[in-house]
Structure 1
């Protein structure tokens, strides 16, 4: 397992190291002691899986308001996605900036996203399965998001005409998020 800090502080790319032989492969997808040595171990309380059937589907950009803000550990079990994360920590020098990483069953990369970020992904092929651990239970009352195509963030998605849920089509802009003056817990 190789841990690589990303450009946005607190986000880490994790490269898995499979062992292969004539039967297939084995790989450790979680190692508490390795992650703890980088300060990124969390008490994971849920593991979720989403299955998306069509290429060009965007899910996100989602987050949870305080007191339900969550860290995520994301990986792709089948297919490939462009995983996107936006810094919403109002005191951060990179507030409103985004970064991305391709996650796929072939590259075996994972991403650790701390509290205080919006998260989403776009499928790069049909039939994608994304798994992610979170360190807080989902709260519908604290559910939030930022519009996928907010021009002030300007994420470079791999499609201009994505498949979207009605919820994701109608998420607020970053300016609307700022004007709400609600916090995302980052501890």
Structure 2
């Protein structure tokens, strides 16, 4: 596997080296030794999946506040998604910058999003499934959201969302500090 840095400090695109033979395909998608050598989280006590029937579904931008900030390793297990991370760490060199990765189940790529960053995605295909590995267990009282189209970030989404839940549609603008 290859870990490719992005414009956000600590965020990485994960590309796999697939090996094909008469049995089919084999690819390593996570290795604690490789992640640890790059200073990334290696412990993921919770995994989640999100099934999205329709193209244009938006989820995010979500993060978990201190003391349970979470890193995420995100991949599409079916379909494609425009996946976004926004750096909300005031001390970071990439504070308020965003980065996107097109996750594609056929490419088997992933996106590592460090703790302190908000995350969201827009599905680019029908029947899109996203699989998340989380470095912290869910703490509902620490869950936070910021508006997907907040002018503080100016994310260049590929299209307007067609579907989103009320929570994501009603998010407030980012106030400049992690609550």
Give the TM-score normalised by the residue count of structure 2. 0.95
How far 1:107 moved relative to its partner? 1.9
Aligned structure 1 segments of 4 or more residues deviating by more than 4 angstroms:
none
For 1:61-76, what aligned pairs fall within 5 Å after superposition? Answer: 61-76=61-76
Contact 1:56 1:158 in 2 (8 A): no
Listed one character per residue, the Cα deviations across residues 147-183 of structure 1 (whole Å, up to 9, x for unaligned) are 0111221111121243111010011111xx32xx445
For 1:95-110, what aligned pairs fall within 5 Å after superposition? Answer: 95-110=95-110
Cα separation, partners in 2 of 1:102 and 1:182, compared to 1, 3 Å: closer
Contact 1:77 1:129 in 2 (8 A): yes
Listed one character per residue, the Cα deviations across residues 8-56 of structure 1 (whole Å, up to 9, x for unaligned) are 1111111011111233212111111122221213211101111101001
Q: Equivalents in 2 of 1:107, 1:80: separation in Å?
A: 10
For 1:29-178, what aligned pairs fall within 5 Å after superposition? Answer: 29-174=29-174, 177-178=175-176
Listed one character per residue, the Cα deviations across residues 118-159 of structure 1 (whole Å, up to 9, x for unaligned) are 000010000011111111111111110110111221111121
Contact 1:56 1:124 in 2 (8 A): yes
Gaps (5+ residues) in structure 1? none
Q: Equivalents in 1 of 2:25, 2:100: separation in Å?
A: 27
Listed one character per residue, the Cα deviations across residues 57-100 of structure 1 (whole Å, up to 9, x for unaligned) are 11000001111210001111110001000000011232111110
Q: How many residues align?
A: 179
Query: SS of the counterpart of 1:103?
Result: strand
Q: Determine if the alignment matches structure 1 residue 14 to structure 2 residue 14.
A: yes
Query: SS of the counterpart of 1:130?
Result: strand
Cα RMSD of the aligned pairs, angstroms, is: 1.3
